[in-house]
Amino acid sequence: MTINNIELPIPSRDEVLFVALGGLGEIGMNLALYGHDGAWIAVDMGVTFGDEETPGVDVIIPDISVIDGLGDKLKGVLITHAHEDHIGGIPYLAGRFKCPVFCSPFAAAFLRRKLEDDGGRRGKKVKIVEIPSGERRAVGPFDAELIPMPHSIPEAHLTALRSGAGLVVHTGDWKLDPDPVIGFPADEKRLAALGEEGVAALVCDSTNALRTGWTRSEGELAEPLTEIVKSSDRRVLFACFSSNVARLRTIALAAQAAGREVGLVGRSLWRMHDVAGGLGYLKGLPKFLREDELGRLPANRMVAICTGSQGEPRAALHRIVEGQHRHVEVDPADMVIFSSRDIPGNEKAIGRLQNRLVAIGVDVVTDGTAMVHVSGHPARDELQHLYGLLKPARLLPAHGEGRHLDGHAKFAIECGVAEAKVAFNGDVMRLTGGDFEQLTKVKVGRVGIDGEARVSLTGNSMKERRKMRLDGVALITVVLDDKGRIAADSMVTISGLDAGDDPEILDDIEEAIDGAVEELAIKARRDDNAIEDAARSALRRELRKHTGKRPQINVHVVRV
Ligand SMILES: [Zn+2]
Ligand SMILES: [Zn+2]
């Protein structure tokens, strides 16, 4: 199958087709397309984050050439919830589609704020249509219903997509939490009614599909978090995801119960505070203190909630640890609680941050050592419970790496789901109206956001960046006269290697380069490529004697 095809098939009125441009085979960057009766809609448009493999790139968006190819056949973008891996791509991609974005009031408020914070440069033209939780609206060829589910952010939804070709359910991210702290437990009657109606296909969260049991309830955290705050007579800092408004509530109430005031440190927490507060999600909580107010409190009277649970260098916790924060500091015997999970790929950065804290003498508490975090995704018993309610005829696992998708599909079959198929990004699957099978494959990919530029993650520039980071970079200047003779001593600078600071090594290299160029035949000396090759191999040869490194080498040939 060709993979550069950007043209999707035209879905008939008897079928529902599905393809993911992100989110299958990875956790992050979710973007699913559903097609029916000649038109398509997108469900979610998320981002993922860069790591050590993508130096200089913090945010990664999906390649949406396929959506460009759809033109006005894309009728809507429906957002399940406001997590970055589901909504974060909109500011970057909004200029590429003309249809409205449909989402609940919370996601709409969050998205408007995000677009504003970007100074309106990106995504000015986004038309946002609100669908209140629990309601139904026409979205392109589908009748879409947003059914609220507990998760780790307010207003997460399971989406029922009805059409003449059957009912398809896209779960989004969910758990079955009897005490979600914000919002309500899942409406099992509503879900069972979908099951009675007949779910032709279920596209379902696989994040925790390899975990047995039932994910613990957000409500179970109140007591241990209160106890842990009470146990300290020093500063207590929490690191958690800013989007986890239920957790902010639990921590604020724990602080209050321990006789302390609570404040927020970090921009994304304040943004979430404003959005959630504006919709009434912070009612009944003590007022959150500003960073300067927090800094003036005695150590045993404060609880700070900070951004930076993933070790992000620009986030509040990192700056506090490095002593660079204007108002908040940590001292020995203070306590820092990571009320969050380690997102795969961030382990090293988190480890470095925690090691720094331990070195200072801070008491570091993580979910590995204490009950300070619960997941927002369903484990196996919850998956099985949902299959029991929805009774899907077909299952397509989503929101997972390959091992999660595969484990989820096998588990569903064990639980009695008739058909379960694993698909990856780009696989166009028929969900209803014929065999459950892959029809074709379309182009998918990842695009890095580097400042204002888009960069390929597979192209040369990223390869060179990785090489420069690992092996340094050398710049050679060779100056020749019009006859191809050396007109001035060659010059070499090396960055990122100790050899670059050693004048003797640099002298040796420069001499070797001059020698290599002089050895070239007259004809070759008129050819810039030949000069570059000779200079490059002379530098490599010399450097091999002093260090084993092979830096990225750039040669400038100057003719005077
Ligand atoms: Zn997600
Ligand atoms: Zn989520």
User: Minimum-distance ligand to the CA of 175?
Assistant: 2
Whether residue 47 is found in the same domain as residue 180: yes
| Distance (Å) from CA 476 to ligand 1 centroid | 47
| pLDDT digits 0-9 by tens, 284-310 | 999 999 999 999 999 999 999 999 999
The verdict on 52 and 111 lying in the same domain is yes
43-77 pLDDT, tens digit per residue, is: 999 999 887 788 888 899 999 999 999 999 999 99
* CATH code for the domain of 232: 3.40.50.10710
In contact, 378 and 208? CB cutoff 8 Å: yes
Domain-located, residue 175 = yes
Q: How many residues does the chain have?
A: 560
What is the CA(81)–ligand 2 centre distance, in A?
7
Q: What domain range includes position 262? A: 220-365
- What is the 8-class DSSP label of residue 218? G
Q: How far, CA to CA in Å, does 481 sit from each of 242, 370, 476?
A: 62, 72, 17
Burial (0-12, 13-18, 19+ Cβ within 10 Å), 116: exposed
CA 377 – CA 175 distance, rounded (Å): 5
Check which CATH number belongs to the domain holding 519 and give it. Answer: 3.10.20.580
- 487 and 503 inside one domain: yes
Distance CA 222, CA 74 (A): 44
Ligand nearest to C-alpha 26: 1
Pair 70, 148 in one domain: yes
Ligand nearest to the CA of 81: 2
Distance 78 CA to ligand 1 centre (A): 14
**pLDDT at 49 (0 to 100):** 87
In a domain, 465, yes or no: no
Do residue 206 and residue 224 come from a single domain? no
pLDDT at 3: 58
Q: Do 132 and 21 share a structural domain?
A: yes
Q: 172 CA to middle of ligand 2, Å?
A: 7
Q: Which ligand is nearest to the CA of 398?
A: 1
Q: Is the whole-model pTM more than 0.85?
A: yes
Query: Is-contact 517 535, C-beta < 8 A?
Result: yes
Residue 26 near residue 13 (C-beta atoms within 8 A) = no
* Residue in the structure block whose two tokens are 């009125």: 13
Dist. CA 363 → ligand 2 center (Å): 30
Q: For position 420, which CATH number holds?
A: 3.60.15.10
Residue 459 — pLDDT band, cuts 50, 70, 90?
confident
Give the max Cα distance, the chain. 88
Distances (CA, A) of 341 to 73, 208, 308, 376: 39, 12, 12, 10
> What would the pLDDT profile of 103-162 be if each residue is shown by its tens digit?
999 999 999 999 988 655 655 679 999 999 999 999 999 999 999 999 999 999 999 999
Last residue of a domain, one of 456, 481, 505: 456
Q: Last residue of a domain, which of 332, 365, 398?
A: 365
pLDDT given for residue 436 in this prediction: 98
Measure the CA–CA gap between 38 and 297, rounded to whole angstroms.
62
pLDDT digit string, tens, across residues 496-508? 888 888 888 889 8
Distance between CA atoms of residues 161 and 164, nearest Å: 10
33 alpha carbon – ligand 1 mean position (Å): 16
Cα 209 versus chain centre, distance: 19
Asked if 78 contacts 139 with a C-beta cutoff of 8 angstroms, the reply is yes
- Which ligand sits nearest to residue 46's alpha carbon? 1
If you measure from the C-alpha of residue 158 to the centroid of ligand 1, how many angstroms do you get, rounded to a whole number?
12
Round the average pLDDT of the chain to a whole number and report it: 93
Among 38-42, 184-188, 544-548, the least confident range: 544-548
pLDDT of res. 51: 79
How far CA 474 is from CA of 135, 228, 464, 471, in Å, comes to 61, 53, 12, 10
The alpha carbon of 512 is separated from its chain's Cα centroid by a whole number of angstroms, namely 48
- Looking at the chain, the whole-number percentage of residues with pLDDT higher than 70 is 98
The 10 Å CB-count burial string (b at 16+, else e) for 41-72 is bbbbbbbbbbbeebbebebbbbbbbbbeebee
Q: How far is the CA of 556 from the centre of ligand 2 (A)?
A: 50
Give the Å distance between the CA of 152 and the centre of ligand 2. Answer: 7
Residue 121: its pLDDT value, please?
62
Does residue 559 sit in helix, strand or coil? strand
pLDDT for 119 equals 56
The ligand minimizing its distance to the Cα of 27 is: 1
Nearest ligand atom owner, CA of 174: 2
How far does residue 342's CA lie from ligand 1's centre (Å)?
14
pLDDT of residue 560: 87
The three-state DSSP-derived secondary structure of 154-192 is CCEEEEEEEECCEEEEECCCCCCCCCCCCCCCCCHHHHH
Ligand with an atom nearest the CA of residue 399: 1
Q: How confident is the model at residue 467 (pLDDT cuts 50, 70, 90)?
A: confident
Q: Is residue 7 part of a domain?
A: no
Please check the confidence at residue 4 and state whether its pLDDT lies above 80: no
Ligand 1 centroid – CA 21 distance (Å): 14
Share above pLDDT 90 across residues of the chain, in percent, rounded to a whole number: 75
pLDDT of residue 165: 98
- pLDDT of 470 higher than 60: yes
Whether 208 and 225 map to the same domain: the answer is no
Q: pLDDT tens digits, residue range 88-97?
A: 999 999 889 9
> Ligand 2 centre and the CA of 508: distance in Å?
57
Angle subtended at Cα 432 by Cα 431 and Cα 434, rounded to the nearest 5 degrees: 105
The bound ligand whose nearest atom lies closest to the alpha carbon of 241 is 2
Gyration radius of the chain over CA positions? 28
Which of 189-203, 213-227, 466-480 shows the lowest per-residue confidence on average (mean pLDDT)?
466-480
How far is Cα 33 from Cα 326, in angstroms, rounded to an integer? Answer: 46
Indicate if 208 and 229 belong to the same structural domain.
Answer: no
Residue 6 reports pLDDT greater than 90: no
142 and 244 together in one domain: no
Average pLDDT over residues 28-57: 93
pLDDT at 464: 83
Q: Relative to the alpha carbon of 47, which ligand is closest?
A: 1
pLDDT in tens, 208-254: 999 999 999 999 999 999 999 999 999 999 999 999 999 999 999 99
Beta bridge partners of 456: 447
Do 163 and 250 reside in the same domain of the chain?
no
- Ranking 251-255, 422-426, 446-450 by mean pLDDT, the lowest is 446-450
Residue 173 CA to ligand 1 centre (angstroms):
6
Residues 190 and 289 in one domain: no
- Residues 103/105/111/115 CA torsion (nearest 10 deg): 120
Ligand 1 centroid distance, CA of 206 (Å): 10
Q: Are residues 328 and 245 in the same domain?
A: yes
Find the mean pLDDT for residues 150-176.
98
Distance of CA 94 from the midpoint of ligand 2 (Å): 21
pLDDT at position 170 over 60: yes
Mean per-residue pLDDT for 405-417? Answer: 98
- 185-198: string of b/e by CB count within 10 Å (b at 16+)? bbeeeebeebbeee
* Amino acid (1-letter code) at residue 478: V
Query: Is residue 2 in some structural domain?
Result: no
Domain membership flag for residue 195: yes
pLDDT given at position 122: 59
Ligand 1 centroid to 384 CA: how many Å? 20
358 CA from centroid of ligand 2 (Å)? 31
Structural domain ending residue among the three candidates 456, 488, 518:
456
- pLDDT average, residue stretch 519-528: 87
pLDDT at residue number 487 = 87
Mean pLDDT for 417-446 is 97
Confidence of residue 414 (pLDDT cuts 50, 70, 90): very high
Residue 209 lies in a domain: yes
User: Would residue 8 count as lying in a domain?
Assistant: no
Name, in order, each residue with C-beta under 8 angstroms of 414's C-beta and a sequence gap of 6 or more: none
Sequence-distant (6+) residues with CB within 8 A of 151 are 81, 172, 173, 174, 175, 376, 377
Does pLDDT of 2 surpass 60? no
Cα 83 to averaged position of ligand 2 atoms, centre (Å): 5
pLDDT computed for residue 124 by the predictor: 65
Q: Which residue, chain included where needed, has tokens 């986890």? A: 244
Enumerate residues with CB within 5 Å of ligand 1 (an ion): 85, 173
Give the closest ligand to the alpha carbon of residue 152.
2
According to DSSP, the residues that pair with 473 across neighbouring strands are: 495, 552
Q: Does 173 fall in a domain?
A: yes
Domain count, the chain: 3
